[in-house]
Structure 1
Amino acid sequence: MSLPPGFLDELRTRTSLSQVVGRKVMWDSRKSNQGKGDMWAPCPFHQEKSASFHVDDRKGFYYCFGCHAKGDAISFVKETENVGFMEAVEILAREAGMPIPARDPQAQQKADKRTQLVEVMEAAVQFYRLQLKTGQGGEARDYLAGRGLDAGAQERWQIGFAPAGWQSLWDALTAKGISEELILECGLAKPSRQGKKPYDTFRNRIMFPIRDAQGRAIAFGGRAMDPEDKAKYLNSPETPLFDKGRSLFNFAPAREAAGKGGTLIVAEGYMDVIALSEAGFPAAIAPLGTAVTEDQLRLMWRIADEPVIALDGDTAGLRAAMRVIDVALPLLEAGKGLRFCLMPEGLDPDDLLKSQGAGAMQKLLARAQPMVDLLWQRETEGGTFDSPERRAALDKSLRAAIGKIADPFIRSHYGLAIKEKRWALFNTRKPAGGRVWQPKGTPEAAAPTTRASLLAQGNSTMDEILREAVILAVLLTHPAIIPQFEDALERLEFLDSDHTRIADALLRHMEAEDLRATLEGSLGPGPLEKLFQPRHVTLCPAVRSPGDDEVAALCVAEEMSKLHARRGARREIEEAVRDAEAMGDEGTTWRLGQAAEARNRAERAQNEDRTEFEIGANGARISRDERLRLDSLLAQINKGNTSG
């Protein structure tokens, strides 16, 4: 069976040779460099212990320096699976999600036709190159020189010039005996609607050849010399050779440069790619007049794990970056992502290199943002989120964006990253180490070096700090219950700055597998060691028994209730005292009594018995039964003394 032209090229492009080979070999981790696609292993075709079998994942070829076996993914499957050519193709196509085309009896004829079309395109390249050197190309040469491209650079990129005449290329190619059909099929000319002979597609333009992964000319991009031309840049139309959405300018040289460790840079146009490459960034590519497509992204990820999207620093460049995000989200895989490098306002990569040099470009590339940052910027920029409804709308749009990610692990990590950014945006509490509101007259909090001292904590807020510690310790010991108390924890005002930091970290990382280790990595071991030091914490049943989440939830709920009640009562009492000083009426006295009673009710544990108490002269609670027995005993003693 014959396959359509281009099918095998696309199959090889979509297939990762290292994954195919990896099913049959054990990679040598010391010798291999997975990031560069440079993999080594003992050869699967002959018995050996040394790693002489080399896979170049970026180029898609393998070679054994021992038995000299070589080939691509198709030949590897043929040899290792003992199958024929078509069966090997079917295996790889199934894995790549590509349907096998129906039998085409004219496939060989089409393959021959494709070869003829490539030859016509190469003839056009030579014609345009020659025209650039003539008198007609003088203005174009001056323009290129003004853009910093000398004769050597023009030769390297095989830049040419299309004269202004209507049939210049047509006449030159037909004079060589090239058929009119082939010229039209290559998209180099268009048929006339007035019954005249076809006219050239490109006229009065600087010409940039576009080549495929094998380096064959398949299309052109033309830059207009006339500033009044409606299209500043014009690409070849779609042809049997050229699929705009599956091609990239400078793909083959960029693939080789990326394989040597260069950063793959995705620019917007031909001149940006040429300027980057000439300035020492050879792994530069560009889409061809369209937004980045899924197929183009897959091509990029075949040669680099994290391409950097370098777009113009204007509104259009930012919009283009946002479109790339929507295309990339469903395709993300572990290790395959994008970073974004936005140029300064009003500059493109070419402008930046000319005005500030390669060093400035390198600094921008080093500071390229991960895609999640740009996603967050897109969803929040210019927005005001000062109401629950607006925050809910933001959450909905973020969930919709993250929901496009097919890989559940990537989706989970994006969710965590967005949650941290959301926390930073919406958290209205005082930052760690900042001053916390205290009623007027409240003594200053102890310094960090002495706060652990009971003497330093011997004030009216000491028990509140201990309750804070119990709440955090129980939540840290029972991370499964944190979601139940997420809202309450966000609203809780901590008196201890370390407690504030721990609470913030708990909310940010509550989905971490090892929460305590994650917090220690974020905060250091000191705050957590201090948290678990007080005896009130270590003796808490929920801390001592980490397996019972139900008991832990009851404990946290009770401690929060007591903490809120005590603070509410304290504030009510302080306000009432101020009112009493001003007015001193019975209503104020009643408020004081109600506040004290509310505090007492909240502080009685749910599991306390129903014993009735009285308040002693010293303010302590005394069991009424014990008080009556004591009074009876004292009465008997007094009676005996009297009778004596």
Structure 2
Amino acid sequence: MSLPPGFLDELRTRLSLSQVVGRKVTWDARKSNQGKGDMWAPCPFHHEKTASFHVDDQKGFYYCFGCHAKGDAISFVKETENVSFIEAVEILAREAGMPMPARDPKAQEKQDRRTQLSDVMEQAVQFFKLQLKTGAGTAAREYLTRRGLDAQALDRWEIGFAPDGWQGLWDHLRGKNVTEDLIIGAGLAKPSNQGKKPYDTFRNRIMYPIRDPRGRCIAFGGRALDPTDNAKYLNSPETDLFDKGRSLYNHGPARQAAGKGHPLIVAEGYMDVIALAEAGFGASVAPLGTAITEHQLNLLWRIADEPIIALDGDTAGLRAAMRAVDLALPMLEAGKSLRFALMPEGKDPDDLLRAEGAESVQAVLDAAVPMVKLLWQREVEGKVFDSPERKAALDKSLREKIKLIRDPSIRSHYGQEIKDLRWQLFRPERRPNRNWQSGGKWQPQQQPASPGARASFLASSENADIQLREAAILAIAILNPQVVIQFEHQLEDMECQNPNHAELRDAVLRHAIDDPENLKEHIVQTLGSQALENLLNLRHVAVIPCVFKPGDVEKAEMTLAEELAKIKALRGLDAEIAEAAEELSNLDDEALTYRLAQAAEERNQASRSQNKDRGHFDVADNGARINRDEKDAFAAIMSGIKFERKRQ
């Protein structure tokens, strides 16, 4: 059975050789490097204990250094399953989800035609290269020189020039006895609508040959020299050789460079790829004048697990990046993703290289962000979320995007990352006196007190009391996370004097509502075990587990409400005193005295228990707390003694 042209290429593209071979061998973890597709195992074709069987997943070939067996996925299945070539193809096609083509008696004829077309394309490459060196190519050479390409670079990339004539290439190929249908079939000429000779597809353009992974020229990209030309760049039309959405510029060399450890970079244009490769970034490719397609994305993931999309620093570049995000989301797999490196505004990779050198490009690549950050940026950039409705709209939009991810594990991780980014966006709005410092943690932004406020006895004596209460509140919340949702806003407004308390409060708010059962584990992961131990080992905090029985939610709610109210009142009094100290020197106003009196009264009320009727303690005249059960028992004893005395 003959297979149609391109079928086997597509089959090899869709399959990972390491997955096919992995069903028959056990990989040697010490020698293998899965990230680079460099896998080693004992050979399945002869008995051995050492790992001499090598699989190069990037190139799609295996080789045994012991028995010298070699081949691709098809030959591996043939040998291990003892099947024919067609049967091996059928097995792999089922695995790849590709239907076997119907029997095509003309398949060999089509294959022969592809070979002929490829030969014609090679003749065109040589013609264009020669034209670049003639007088007609002077303007093209000058342009390429300005772009930083010397003669050696022009030869390496086989760059040529299509002269400004209607039948220059046509006449050349016809003089070589190339048939008209092959010239037109290769996309090098177009038939005339006026009954004249066919005319060249490319005229007055710098020509970039486009080759498939095997090195065969399948198309051309042409850049116009005339600035008034309607199409600055023009690609070959679709032919039996060329499918634009399934091809990449510089595919073969980039695959080899990526196999040697170079990062895979996806740029926009031919000159970007050439400039990057000449500067040492050999694993650079470009889609052919269109947004990245699903097939191209699969090709990229065959080369590297995390290609870097390096786009121009303009609006069009950002739009292209967003289209790539939307395309990739449903296709994500464990270990397969994209990173995005956006060039400085108004520059492409070639511009940045010529202006600042390879170090600047490397810095941009090192700062490439993962897909989730770009997805978040698109949804929040330039928007204001000052109402519940706008925040709900953001949540809905992000949920819809995350639903596109088929892999449940990746979908879960995206959800958590979005939740973290959302928390960072909205929490600061409710703490305007805090500042986001380096290191990714919130730190208190203390306002300097006036000299009068600093000198006041009350301000200096109550700071310690406030910090003690902060610690108790946090300990109660950590030990009883199920009550945090009731006090979320009060905890957000609690201005912690101790920076460590501020970090603990943020960790509690961040995790207690969504995952209360694992709150302590989240705190340890975020801040380390020492932060939690330091809090719970404080003397006045260590007694809390003894006072609060497990599950005593009511007592936890009462205590939190009371302590939060006390801190609020204490801070209110501090603020009034600080403001009054500033004003008293310049203003004699009875309103100040009234304000201070009111603040003091609120403090006194807060200092008294707000839950006497529901609590288990009474307060004696001297301020001591008396357990009600003990008091009642003591009263009963005293009553009994009095009764006995009366009887006597």
Q: TM-score range by the shorter chain?
A: 0.7 to 0.9
| Aligned-partner SS, 1:427 | helix
Unaligned runs of 5+ in 1: 447-455, 476-480
Residue 449 (structure 1) aligns with: none
Q: Which runs of 5+ in 2 are unaligned?
A: 436-441, 581-589
- 1:116 maps to 116
Q: 2:473, 2:448 → 1: CA distance?
A: 17
Q: Give the match for residue 26 of structure 1.
A: 26
For residues 37 and 322 of structure 1, the distance between their equivalents in structure 2, rounded to whole angstroms, comes to 28
Instruction: Report the alpha carbon displacement of residue 583 of structure 1 after superposing the two structures with TM.
Output: 5.6
Measure, in 2, the Cα distance between the counterparts of 1:50 and 1:232. 57
Distance in 2 of aligned mates of 1:300 and 1:622: 73
Equivalent residue number for residue 494 of structure 2? 493
* Residue 200 (structure 2) aligns with: 200
Describe how 1:473-512 pairs up with structure 2 within 5 A.
Answer: 473-475=479-481, 481=482, 484=485, 487-488=488-489, 491=492, 493=494, 495=496, 496-508=498-510
How many residues are matched?
A: 616
Cα distance, 1:103 vs structure 2: 2.4
Given that 2:42 and 2:48 are in contact with CA atoms closer than 8 Å, whether structure 1 keeps it comes out as: yes
Q: Note if contact 2:473-2:564 (Cα within 8 Å) is conserved in structure 1.
A: no
In the TM superposition, residue 50 of structure 1 has moved relative to its aligned partner by 0.8
Amino acid at match of 2:534: K
Secondary structure of residue in 1 paired with 2:309: strand
Alignment of 1:581-592 (within 5 A): 582=593
User: Quick check: 1:257–1:282 contact (8 Å CA) kept in 2?
Assistant: yes
Report the residue type matching 1:157 in the other structure.
W
SS in 2 for 1:11: helix
Tell me, yes or no, if structure 1 residue 269 matches structure 2 residue 269: yes
Residues 415 and 436 (structure 1), Cα distance of their counterparts in 2 relative to 1, 3 Å cut: farther
Q: Which residue of 2 aligns with 1:528?
A: 532
Aligned to 2:585: none
Tell me the CA shift for residue 619 of structure 1. Answer: 6.0
Structure 1 residues 251-296: Cα deviation after superposition (integer angstroms, max 9, x where no partner)? 0000001100111111110011111111111111000000011111
Relative to structure 2, which stretch is displaced further, 244-253 or 174-183? Answer: 174-183
Residue 398 of structure 2 is aligned to residue 384 of structure 1? no
Q: Secondary structure at the match of 2:221?
A: strand
**Cα distance in 1 between the residues matched to 2:639 and 2:572:** 40
Cα deviation for residue 185 of structure 1 reads 1.5
Amino acid at match of 1:491: E
Aligned partner of 2:621 among 607, 616, 620: 616
More deviation in 493-502 or 339-348? 493-502
Between the aligned partners of 1:135 and 1:172, the Cα distance in structure 2 is 17
Q: Is the CA contact (8 Å cut-off) linking 1:615 and 1:622 kept in structure 2?
A: no
Do the aligned partners of 1:614 and 1:621 also contact (CA within 8 Å) in 2? yes
Partner in structure 1 of residue 614 of structure 2: 604
2: CA distance, partners of 1:85 / 1:113: 23
1:139 Cα offset (Å): 1.5
Q: Is the 8 A contact 2:211 2:251 kept in 1?
A: yes
8 A contact 1:313–1:345 mirrored in 2: yes
Deviations for 1:198-254, whole angstroms, at most 9, x for unmatched residues?
A: 111111101100011111000000000111101010001111111111100000000
Residue of structure 1 in register with 2:135 after alignment: 135
Quickly say closer, same or farther: Cα 1:183–1:543, change in 2 above 3 A: farther
Q: 1:186-265 counterparts in 2 under 5 A?
A: 186-265=186-265
Please tell me whether the aligned partners of residues 131 and 163 of structure 1 are also in contact (alpha carbons under 8 angstroms). yes
**1:115 positional shift:** 1.1
Which AA in structure 2 matches 1:111? Q
Equivalents in 1 of 2:409, 2:52: separation in Å?
35
CA distance in 1, matches of 2:404, 2:347: 32
By how many angstroms is 1:17 displaced?
0.6
Aligned residue number for residue 101 of structure 1: 101
User: How far is 1:458 from its partner?
Assistant: 6.4
Q: Aligned partner of 1:523: which letter? A: L
| Separation (CA, whole Å) in 2 of partners of 1:242 and 1:251 | 14
SS at match of 2:63: strand
TM-score w.r.t. length of structure 2: 0.85
What CA deviation, in whole Å up to 9, does each residue of 1:475-513 have, x standing for no partner?
Answer: 3xxxxx589569457635153432321232344456789
SS in 2 for 1:103: coil
Whether the 8 Å contact between 2:140 and 2:206 is mirrored in structure 1 is yes
Residue deviations 1:438-465 (CA, integer Å, cap 9, x gap): 998795689xxxxxxxxx9863663453
- CA pair 555-210 structure 1, distance change in 2 beyond 3 A: farther
Letter in 2 for 1:216: R
The 2-side partners of 1:622 and 1:66 are apart by: 85
Q: Secondary structure at the match of 1:318?
A: helix
1:359-378 alignment runs, 5 A limit: 359-378=359-378
Per-residue Cα deviation, 1:564-593 (whole angstroms, up to 9, x for no partner) = 454566679999999998469xx989x879
Shift of the alpha carbon at 1:48?
A: 0.1
> For residues 58-80 of structure 1, what are the alpha-carbon distances to aligned partners after superposition, in whole Å with 9 as ceiling and x for unaligned?
00000111111111111112222
Confirm or deny that 1:355 pairs with 2:355.
yes
CA shift in 2, pair 1:163/1:457, >3 Å: closer
SS of the residue corresponding to residue 40 of structure 1 reads strand
Report the CA distance between 1:410 and its aligned residue: 1.4
Q: Could you tell which deviates more after superposition, 573-582 or 66-75? A: 573-582
Call closer, same or farther: CA 1:628–1:528 in 2, change over 3 Å: closer
Match of 1:281 in 2: 281
CA distance in 2 between counterparts of 1:637 and 1:311 reads 97
The CA distance in 2 between the partners of 1:403 and 1:152, in whole Å, is: 50
Q: CA deviation at 1:188?
A: 1.1
CA contact (8 A) 1:167 1:200 kept: yes
- Residues 188, 201 of structure 2: 8 Å contact kept: yes
Q: C-alpha separation between the residues in 2 aligned to 1:155 and 1:622?
A: 94
In 2, Cα distance between equivalents of 1:73 and 1:62:
8
Task: Output the CA distance in 2 between the equivalents of 1:300 and 1:205.
Answer: 29
Name the CA shift for 1:29/1:571 in 2 (closer, same or farther; >3 Å).
Answer: closer
- Taking a change above 3 Å as real, the CA distance of residues 621 and 144 of structure 1, as seen in their structure-2 partners, is same
Decide whether the 8 Å contact of 2:310 with 2:349 is kept in 1. yes
Give TM-score, length-normalised by structure 1. Answer: 0.86
Task: Give the CA deviation at 1:146.
Answer: 1.8
Pairing 1:504-583 to 2, within 5 Å after superposition: 504-508=506-510, 516=520, 518-534=522-538, 537-538=541-542, 540=544, 551=551, 556-567=556-567, 582=593
Q: Does 1:2 align with 2:2?
A: yes
CA contact (8 A) 2:187 2:238 kept: yes
Q: Any idea what SS the aligned residue of 1:281 has?
A: coil
Distance 1:410-1:226 versus aligned 2 partners, 3 A rule: same
Q: Which residue of 1 aligns with 2:424?
A: 424
CA contact (8 A) 1:189 1:201 kept: yes
Whole-Å Cα distance in 1 between the matches of residues 174 and 266 of structure 2?
A: 38
Q: Which aligned pairs between 1:310-349 and structure 2 lie closer than 5 A?
A: 310-349=310-349
**Cα displacement (A) at 1:25:** 1.1
Distance in 2, Cα, partners of 1:359 & 1:570: 56
